[in-house]
Every structure is written in C-alpha cells, then in structure tokens.
A and B are shown apart, each in its own frame.
Chain A
Amino acid sequence: MAFKRKETVIEATDLATITAEEAEKRIIAGVRKYATQEANWSRADANTPFLGHIIGMGIESSNLADITMSIERQFLTRRTRRVPVSPDGSEVRLDEGELGKLRILDGQDALAATPGLAVKMLMDLGHMAPDPAYLGKVVSFAYISVIGEGWKLNEALRKAMGRLEKLSGPEREEALANLRALTAQAKSYEALIADAAALAGQRRKSYEEEKAAHEALESELSMATAKLAGAAGGNDSARIASLRSEEAEIRTRLKMSAAKLRVSAEIASQAGNRSAAEAAKVAEIRGLLQETVRLAESC
C-alpha cells in the first residue's frame, strides 16, 4: 500500500495567551512544508520573506493561500462573531465573540509578507494585543519590497557577469551592453534607496498614479450605476441585463484595484519612516550593490 505519510497534528493556541515571538515561531514552523529554500527557512526570523529564493523561504506564490490557512489552523481568537457590513451579507467583519477558529478575511493578508508582518496583521486585526517592542523589530512591508528589489537586482547583475565570461564575439558585445544597462539601473537604485526622502517621493508618485486610475474606475462605476438606474424603469430587459453585467465587471475591477492600492498606499506611507532595523537592511543591500556594480564596471 501507499507509503505512510507522517501526520502533523496541529493544536490551535489562543492568541491571547501567547507572546508575539511565540506566534512568530509557530508561523515559521507552520510553513515548512512549502519552503523550497530550506536553508533560508531554517534560519528564518521575523523579517524573512515567505516568497523568493535569494533571501526568502522559497515559498511559491501559488502557495500564498496555504500560508494563510496554516496561520488560521494554528490559532484561536475571540474575534469570531460575523457581522455583515454589506447589504447582501457577502462582506463581513469579525467582532468579539466566543473563542474559536481564527479566520483571515479576503484581502486581510495582503501585507503579511514575512512572519513578523503576519504577527503585525494579527495585532492590527485585534486578534492579539499590540506589542510595540516587537513591532519595532519588524521591517515594514514597504522596506521588505525595497530590500527584495535590491537583492533581485544584485542577483541579476551577478548572473549577467557570469554569462559574460562564457561568451565571445558579437554575443559578448550584446551581453556587455545589457550588463551596462543593468549596472546603470543598479547604480540609480542604490542612490535612490540611500535617500529615504527621495525613496518616499518616488513611492508616493507611484501611489498617486494608481490612486488616479482607481478614482477613474470609481467614476466609471458611478456612471454605470446611473445608467442602470435610468434603464430600470423601462421595459428593455436585454439592455438592463447588459448594464447589470457591465456594472458587475466594473465592481470586480474596482475591488482588485482597491487591493492593489492598499499595498501601494502602505508602501508610500512607510517608505519615508526608516527604522533602525530597516536602515541596517538598506545599508547591507546598498553595500552589496556597490560592490557588484564595481565588479560589473570592470568587465
């Protein structure tokens, strides 16, 4: 018969009875089976990204839902009473109630990119008491993304240099031109992250662009809703059906845009506030980029 798979029995713990550090440890342990970068997983801390192979645990993006489910399975909370917040009851919030299974609602995990940020999410949602000392050590989502981009750029540069060594003739010339472009990009990125104010300005600009696109979508929805209201009194059922479907489509796009905007807003609001932990991480990746750029420029 089939080989026996070891079964892990998870005993859920009341979040009110454990510390942030204990919750973090459980979260890291719970994602082991999805971590393809086992070396990084085994030394993971609050600020190790779940995704990515260079400094992350190597969890594939297709497994993001499993991370959230793993967190849900491990903890109990008193915020279990479902209170409808939309007229049709499809959207709810969770209020204080009986101790029960933790439930992360759709979109609430959008910023939980590291174990530390997952713990912060539990605190922000009221499942755990806030712990400022712990949160002081947690790198914000904004800086996780800034640092991650830096590592990716550094890796791309190193790979481009590695490729160059194996080529000759016109192929080498082409690869060299690509390396030069990548080097310029890395230098400019290194300079950008050195200056917290400049970084914040750049992130704010991206946010403003996304916000404008979101607002345009909101206007589109208002118009569609108005058209539907106008048609509702008539007898043209085909037109009403078509308008309804158009409105539903815009609502879906708006919902997706809102989720994206929330991430963007978080990045824009945090990029200018650099904590000591974040400054150390930025200094580390800047040092690496400078060294790799120096090597690349000598190619």
Chain B
Amino acid sequence: MTRRRVVVTGMGVVAPNGVGLAAYRDALRAGRSGITWHEELARLNFACQIGGAPPLTEDEILEVLPEADYHKMNEAMVYAALAAVECARSAGIDVDLLRGYQETPVAWDTGTFMGCGVGGMDTIFDELMPVMAEAPDQEPGRGTAAMGTSIVPKVMGSSVSVTLGKLLGLGGQTSTNSSACNTGTEAIFEGYKQVVLGYAEAMYVGGAEGSHYGVWSGFDAMRDVLCTRYNEAPERGSQPMGAGACGFVPAGGAAVLRLESLEAALARGAPILCELLSAYVNSGGQRDGGTMTFPNPDGVVRCIRRVLDDAGVAPSEISLINGHLTSTGADPREVESWLRALELPAERLPLIQSTKSMIGHTLGAAGALEAVAAVDQLSRGYVHPSINCEQIHPEIRSIAASVPHALVERPLEHVVKASFGFGDVNGCLLFRRWGGR
C-alpha cells in the first residue's frame, strides 16, 4: 500500500496559560506560566497545592457550546470540544454549534482519535459519589436515580472522542486512546495511520484531561512524583531540566490538530501548517530498567530512531526537540536517551525545550498540547523559551547551550516531539516545515 503524505491543517488549544491558539502562542513566546496556587488543594491538604488549569468561565464556554450539550459533558469533554471547534474553524471548516448543528451533513471521510488519560473524575467526585453516599437511604430501585441520565457518557472511556464525533458530525473512526502521559502523542500517531493508509481523508487528533483535584489526587498520594516545594511560588514549580526540579506540576487542558491527506488539503485549498513526516509508538516492555513509572531507555531510543529512519531524516537536520521533560528526576535520563538516539555529542544536540515548564503536565493532553506548540513554532519560525531552568540540572550541564532560556526567532526545518508514559510506553512525532510542495 502506498503511504500517503499527511499535513496539519488546523489546531485548537485550551491550555493553562492560554485558551485559544493565539493566546497560547503569546504565552509561549513570552515564557508565561499558567501554573497557580489552588485554594481547594490547600483545603484538602494536598502536598502539591499548585497546578495548571485553563482560565475559563462558564460564560466563555457557553459562547461556543449549546447549554444542553454543556450540561452533558465532564471537564475534559468541554476542553476537547472547545479545542476541536477552534481547530476545525482554523482549518477552514465552518462550525457553529449554536445554530442547530445536528442538521449538518456527516463528514464520512473524517474521524477522530481523541485521547484521555484519566477521564471524568470531576463527574465521579462531584456527581456520582454524593448520590452513592445517599443511596442507602433511598427507596428500593431509586438508589442511583438522582444521578440523572448523563452519567455514563460522562465517565465512559470514549467520552472525549464521541463528543467530537457528535459536534463535528464525524463519520470515520471515532475512538479514544489512553496510554497515560503518551496519550496525546499516541492519538496523533493513530490518526496519522488512518490518513496514511487511506482509511480517512482527515482526522481530528489530540488529547484532553480535566483539571479537577480528583484527577491529580492519585499523583499527590505518590508524594515523590508531584512538585511539593513550590507552593509559595507556583510559577517556579515546573522546572524541567532545572537544578531545582522536584516533581511535575499537574495540569489539565486539551489540544486538537486536524491531520489531512495532502491531496485533500490541496484540493480544498486548506491552510497547510506543516507536514507530519513520520510517527511511531512503542513500549520498553517494563524490562531493563523500564518499570510502571520509568521508561526502559532502550525503548525510548528505538522509538526516536524509528521515526527518523522512517522519514529518512538525519539527526543533524533536526532544528528543535520538544521533549517530554516533566520536571522530575527522569529529565536527565531523557536527555541521555536523546543523545543516544541521535548519536550526537552533547555539544551538537539540537535546541531542546520543555513546554511543560509553562503549562505543567497535562497528562493525557500533554502530547497534543506540546505537538501544537511544536507545529506553531515550525510554521511561524520561533523557539519558545524553556523556563525555570536557568540553573541547569547538574547531570546535564553538557547540553546547557542547547536549552533556550529566551525566545529565539529562527526558521525551523524539522521538529521532533516525544512523549513517554506510565507503563513504559513511548511516542515520537517528526514534523517538517511546509515548503509548498
């Protein structure tokens, strides 16, 4: 089967440091953090009381979503819906959900892979648990009635993808993947395959995660995983590659990209942002140093190399690495893996950055939000700063010159983006600047 070329024709973002692509871009360029202190986390005596939540109000949401749909959505679904609408519109697809969207025709050649890492914890904590607590006092057969009828779509694994399917009228495969922090990147890989193999002309791909304390609580219980020393200075909390990194900062949000076959994009005169040259996901098998929470370095190296080999791109042609880099003790190991995979000496490592330094770790949405950052930098020719790492971690001082601490305006040719997740799973994407052919 011939591999078809895949391009990115639209993007949408709901991030802790900006809702909407323009706001996100401004924040990234300015090195602006979206991490804040949360009173509720303090009230609940979390060790980590900081996090990244998209600055959204209900009124802003209802400017885009019909109220009846909004009430049937959990947080991740809302974020996913807003990002998807922006993505579709930026790709030149007319979407107006407030004007009877149910009557629009089905897009039979378009589907979605929209990932989610944890899912409807806000629904479980705020709606389901209170009802179950009172269930023993209800009449027989009425124990669950007060939940209403929207609970299942709000807690089922595929809640985010079916949301996009409904709002955008998608007729292709509509599915949710989940691979922990690799989810967003994996979703892009899954959508890429659909277009490459000709099963779809276009795919909406990305990831979403809620920012409810319920999503973050399990990580807080692990103690050494989250950042607990910067409750007084939230914006300094996420320090990927920094000397003071003490754990990741939890966050929520969503990002959606529209992948499209080059032929389809050209045929409809769509705006082409870049080409997705290759993509791959694998696992380290939780062997040889790989565990539930730590990647097998050989798996990481294989994943990155496979993407470069498939595309026929030499390491020296890479302009920028958008790493997974979470602000934990794993950052130096990741940098080592990049050096091994690219077979480059430390002083020749391409620029390497962490978008998480500004948005925290958005879990199932991370790969997608960071892919949007990668594509935006590639298509507009800039490199956003990696903040909070002026003091580089002592174990990776050799690559200090590759870490941008301020905005760099520069044309980029190839940007590689990787994600790694619990369960020793890896994902890697390689984007190329769109040169017009």
Residues of chain B within 8 A of A6, CB atoms compared: 58
User: Is the CB of A217 closer than 8 A to any CB of chain B?
Assistant: no
A3 to B53, CA, bound (A): 8
Contact of A2 (CB < 8 Å), options: B75, B146, B149, B150: B75
* Cβ-defined contact, A34 with B68, below 8 A: yes
A91 to B160, CA, bound (A): 40
User: Is the CB of B342 closer than 8 A to any CB of chain A?
Assistant: no
Residues of chain B within 8 A of A59, CB atoms compared: 68
* Cβ-defined contact, A34 with B71, below 8 A: yes
A3 to B211, CA, bound (A): 8
Residue of chain A at shortest CB distance from B54: A3
Contact of B145 (CB < 8 Å), options: A33, A34, A39, A65: A65
Residues of chain B within 8 A of A53, CB atoms compared: 100, 102
User: Is the CB of A5 closer than 8 A to any CB of chain B?
Assistant: yes
* Cβ-defined contact, A1 with B102, below 8 A: no
* Cβ-defined contact, B69 with A65, below 8 A: no
* Cβ-defined contact, A62 with B75, below 8 A: no
Residues of chain A within 8 A of B86, CB atoms compared: none
A36-B75 contact given A1-B213, A58-B68, A65-B148, CB 8 Å threshold: no
A38-B149 contact given A3-B56, A3-B58, CB 8 Å threshold: no
User: Is the CB of A37 closer than 8 A to any CB of chain B?
Assistant: yes
User: Is the CB of B412 closer than 8 A to any CB of chain A?
Assistant: no
Total B residues in contact with A, Cβ cutoff 8 Å:
32
User: Is the CB of A109 closer than 8 A to any CB of chain B?
Assistant: no
User: Is the CB of B61 closer than 8 A to any CB of chain A?
Assistant: yes
- Shortest 7 CB-CB distances between A and B: which pairs? A33-B71, A36-B68, A2-B212, A3-B56, A1-B38, A66-B148, A1-B53
User: Is the CB of B115 closer than 8 A to any CB of chain A?
Assistant: no
Residue of chain A at shortest CB distance from B38: A1
B217-237 at interface with A (beta carbon < 8 Å): none
Residues of B within 8 A of A (CB): 38, 40-41, 51, 53-54, 56-58, 61, 66-69, 71, 75, 78, 98, 100, 102, 122, 140, 145-146, 148-150, 210-213, 252
- Give the interface centre of B98, B100, B140 by most chain A CB atoms within 10 Å: B100
Total A residues in contact with B, Cβ cutoff 8 Å:
24
Q: How far is the CB of B220 from chain A (nearest CB, A)?
A: 13
A sample of 25 inter-chain contacts (CB < 8 A) reads: A1-B41, A1-B51, A1-B53, A1-B211, A1-B213, A2-B53, A2-B75, A2-B122, A3-B54, A3-B57, A3-B58, A4-B58, A35-B68, A36-B68, A38-B66, A38-B98, A39-B100, A53-B100, A58-B68, A59-B68, A63-B150, A64-B149, A65-B149, A69-B145, A69-B146
Residue of chain B at shortest CB distance from A73: B146
Contact of B66 (CB < 8 Å), options: A2, A36, A64, A65: A36
Residues of chain B within 8 A of A211, CB atoms compared: none
Task: Given contact pairs A3-B61, A6-B58, enumerate 7 new A-B contacts (beta carbons under 8 Å).
Answer: A1-B41, A2-B210, A2-B211, A3-B53, A38-B98, A53-B100, A69-B146
Residues of chain A within 8 A of B78, CB atoms compared: 3
* Cβ-defined contact, B41 with A62, below 8 A: no
Residues of chain A within 8 A of B149, CB atoms compared: 62-66
A33-B67 contact given A6-B58, A62-B149, A66-B149, CB 8 Å threshold: yes
A1-B40 contact given A32-B67, A36-B68, A53-B102, CB 8 Å threshold: yes
